Structure 1
Amino acid sequence: MKGFSIFLFFAVSTIVLAINGAYGVYAQEDENIDDIVDVEGEEGSIITDEETVEDTSNASADADTTILFTKPIYNMLSTLELPAGNIVEFLVGFINKGESDFVLESLDASFRYAMDFNFYIQNFSTFTFNKVVKPKHEATLAYSFIPSENFAGRPFGLNVNLNYRDTNGISYNEAVFNETVQIIEIDDGLDGETIFLYVFLAACIILALVGGQQLLSSLGRKSRSSTTRKTAVEMGTSNPNNVDYDWLPKEVLNRINKSPRTPKQSPRQRKAKRTAGSDD
C-alpha cells in the first residue's frame, strides 16, 4: 500500500500540472490585442485609434510591380488567409521600363484596421536591399513575417510597401499589396486542451490498473490464507501426535491426506487375535 500511495501522489501532481498548463494556454489566447508586444523576428508596434496616418503612396510611371505569395499560396480569387503563428512568405517583382536606373531601397509590411486602412495595428520588420535595377531589367525581392497567434480569427488590412528611387534622387513609395486578409488558426499540432485530456486519460488508466493489481493481490493473499488454515485443520484432525508437517511440500501432504490409514489396535486386542489364530 505504501507504493500505491506514492504513485497516487505523483499521479495527482501530474494532473494538477496539466490543468495549470491548459489554463495558461487559454489565458494566453484571451489576451487583448492592445497588450501585444514584439513578435519573434518582427518589429511590433501598436498605434492607437487616435493616431492616423495619411496615405502618401506614389509610384513611378516607368516601373511595374507584382506580388506573389509563396507561403501560403494565394489564388487571387478569394480573401487571402494567413495562418496565425506561422511564417508568411511572398516575392515582389519589379520591372524597370524607363531609361534610367532605379534603386530598390527597402520593403516593409504592416497590419491595418480592416475598416479604415489609415489606422495601424502592427508594423513588421523593414527589409533593406539597395538593389540597382538597370533599364529594361527586372528584379525580385523576398519578404517574410509571422502573424501573431493572438490575431487568429480576425480580419486585418495587409499593406506591403516598396520604397525605391531613381538616379535623380526622387523617392517613390508604392503599395504593392493593400487588401484585407483573414488571420486563421491552423490545427497542425496538439493544443493545451488536447494535451490535458490525454494526460488525464493516461492518469485514469494507470490508476485503474494499479487499483486492479492491488485488488487482485489482496484477494490472492486471502485465498492463500484460507487454504493454509484449511490444511492446518485437516492435519490437526488426523495428527493426534501433533507432528509438524509444515516443512513438507504440498504434494506430499496431499498424498498423506489421501492415503488410507489402518486403525491402531491396543495390545489386548493384538494378543486376543494371536490366541485365536493359535487355536485354529
Structure 2
Amino acid sequence: MQLKEIKQIFHKELEELYPLEEIDSFFYILIEHYLNLERFVLALQPNLTITKEEEQTLFEALSGLKLKKPIQHIIGTAHFMDLDLVVNEHVLIPRPETEELVRWILKDCENNAESFRILDMGTGSGCIPISLGKNLKSSTIHALDISQKALRVAKRNAKIHQVEIEFIQADMLAYPSLDLVFDLIVSNPPYVRDLEKKEMHGNVLEHEPHLALFVSNDDPLLFYRNIMLFCEKHLKIDGCLYLEINQYLGKEMVTLLQEHNFSEIELRKDMFGNDRMVKAVK
C-alpha cells in the first residue's frame, strides 16, 4: 500500500477524536519510529509504497490511537530535555512544564562549581533526576517514589542514559526518614484536584497512573505540606526547594511556604502563562 493512502486512513479514522495537526503529528512520529522515515518523505516520494509488515505496525498503532492511548505509550518512549525516556502506564508522561522546572534549576546552578546532593521526590520515569545528573555531573542524585513499578522504569532510564542515581522506594506521605541532608530538593507531586478531572483529556484519564496525578478536593496541598515537613530535617539551611504546582493554587503555595518558614519565595509562570512552579530557600 502507498504511504499516502495510509495517511488518509489515519485522518479518516481519527478526525472525530483529534485535531488535524495532531493526527499529522502522530503519523509522522510513527513513520519515523517504525520505518525510519523523515516527515517530509511524502513530499519527495509521493508514491512511496511500504511492505505488509510495515503496514501492520502502523495499523496497530492506529488501533491504539482510536482507544485514546497516548502516542508515547504506543512507541514506548517520550522526549524530555533532549533525552528519549522509556515510559509506560506506570509513570506519568513527562510534560514540557516539567522541563521548564528542570531548566530553572540548571540555570541557578550553572555558575556554581559546588557539588550538590539532590533529591527528587516522586520521580516517576526519572526524567527530573536523570536530566539533572546529565548536566550536574559532580552532584550526587537521589530519587524517591512509592511505586516499585515506576522505579523499575526510572532505573531502566538511568541505565540507558548512564546516570548514577540512588533510588529509594518510600511514601512521601509517611515522612520517610533518611540519614541524609540535601542541598536541593525538587518534586512534581500529585496536584490535580478531583474537580479538575473534567478538564483533562481522555488519554490522560484512561492511561496514566492516577496515583501520580490526583489529590482530593479537600486537601489539595497534602503532598506539599509533607514535603515541607520532610525538608525540616533533610534540607540544609540555605538549601533550595523547587516544586511544580497546580496552576490554580499559586497563592496558596506561597502562603504554605511562608508558614513553614521558607524565604526568597519565587512563583513562576509556565510557557502557557499559568502559575506552575515555585522556588524557596530554607
TM-score of the pair, normalised by structure 1: 0.20
* Higher helix residue share: 2
Rg larger for: 1
TM-score of the pair, normalised by structure 2: 0.20
* Higher strand residue share: 1
- Structure of greater relative contact order (alpha carbons < 8 Å, 6+ residues apart): 1
